Amino acid sequence: MAKVQIVSLENAPIVDSATGTHGVAETRAVFAKERDPLHMRTHALGGDATLEIDGSDADYVAYIWKGAALAGGTLLEERASLVVEKGAAVTIRAASGGATVIVFNLNGRPDAPRAGGHVHLLPSERVPRVLDMGGSGNAGGALHADCGCPTCEVWLHENDFYKADYEVPVHSHTEDEIIFVRAGSMKLGNRLLGPGTTLAIAANTKYGFKAGPEGLSFVNFRAKSPTHVNVDNTHRMDEAELWRKAVGSPDYLELADS
């Protein structure tokens, strides 16, 4: 794939919704081509619509961007998430006001697949989150999946940058990644990327960005535990270790417990 691909939500094609989807729903395939190493779809669900997430072929991570949904008896509001492992499935129901759900997965099988078979729920109040990450007062973060689960291997974190023009220096990561702008905007070169914009960035691609005038909030998906590398390749940092030290590991609810 290209080193950096950018897709706005309105330009992503509308496709047939997954089997098991009922009610008013619109599914957009943001990244879903065979050549895309990571896949992402958005599902805009009307009130009480249902969506089945079937992990028969891979581990999936779903993130509640807008509204709220129910999985079993557990309410998942904005900024909540769930992991549907390979070999498991779950049907979620949008609340009366509807929900927009972002679903990520690896296209293909991991090199060393884990056992799978579970559904992990992470309501927004259980997400390990810190409002001041690094002590500068300029950034916060949250960790939804850290590749540390013994039965699944996925990564999802959030970053919040509060200050206009806050700059993230040029760097790279050792894994392919998808960045979804959930609020504010991202300055990438001469482009200003607003909410709903998605970037697919190939492993080992050097890039940097700034927060837009309203700040920036995004979610970041990877299929393996990543390493952060600075611009001149002189410093490598285990991101899982960094995030766990900053916010702790996710403490999931299992679907059977809901």
CATH number, domain of 196, equals 2.60.120.10
Domain membership of residue 237 as a residue range: 130-247
Q: Supply φ then ψ for residue 257, to 5 degrees.
A: -85, -10
CB 34 within 8 A of CB 174: no
Average pLDDT for 124-143: 96
Asked whether residue 134 falls in the same domain as residue 123, the answer is: no
Q: How far is residue 10's CA from residue 12's CA, in Å, rounded to a whole number?
A: 6
Read off the pLDDT of residues 31-78 as tens digits, 9 standing for 90 and up.
999 999 999 999 999 999 999 999 988 999 999 999 999 999 999 999
Q: How far is residue 205's CA from residue 123's CA, in Å, rounded to a whole number?
A: 33
- CA dihedral sign, ordered 113, 118, 123, 125: negative
Q: pTM score > 0.85 for this model?
A: yes
Domain boundary among 82, 99, 127: 127
Asked if the model's pLDDT at residue 257 lies above 80, the reply is: no
Asked whether residue 116 falls in the same domain as residue 138, the answer is: no
C-alpha closest to that of 121 among 85, 89, 81 = 81
Looking at residue 212, what is its pLDDT?
A: 98
Looking at residue 109, what is its pLDDT?
A: 87
Helix then strand then coil, in percent of the chain rounded to 5, is 5, 55, 40
Average pLDDT for 121-128: 98
Which pLDDT band, with edges at 50, 70 and 90, does 10 fall under?
Answer: very high
Average pLDDT for 184-193: 97
Average pLDDT for 204-212: 97
Asked if the model's pLDDT at residue 161 lies above 90, the reply is: yes
Read off the pLDDT of residues 162-173 as tens digits, 9 standing for 90 and up.
999 999 999 999
Asked whether residue 117 falls in the same domain as residue 136, the answer is: no
Domain boundary among 127, 152, 185: 127
Asked whether residue 100 falls in the same domain as residue 138, the answer is: no
Read off the pLDDT of residues 71-116 as tens digits, 9 standing for 90 and up.
999 999 999 999 999 999 999 999 999 999 999 999 998 888 999 9
What DSSP assignment string belongs to 120-152? EEE-GGGS-EESSSSSSSSEEEEEEEES--TT-
* Number of domains composing the chain: 2
Average pLDDT for 217-236: 96
Asked whether residue 142 falls in the same domain as residue 238, the answer is: yes
Looking at residue 111, what is its pLDDT?
A: 85
Q: Does residue 156 belong to any structural domain of this protein?
A: yes
Asked if the model's pLDDT at residue 1 lies above 80, the reply is: no
Looking at residue 256, what is its pLDDT?
A: 61
Mean pLDDT, the chain, as a whole number? 96
Asked whether residue 178 falls in the same domain as residue 110, the answer is: no
Asked whether residue 223 falls in the same domain as residue 189, the answer is: yes
Domain boundary among 127, 160, 192: 127
Asked whether residue 107 falls in the same domain as residue 203, the answer is: no
Looking at residue 258, what is its pLDDT?
A: 38
Asked whether residue 152 falls in the same domain as residue 111, the answer is: no
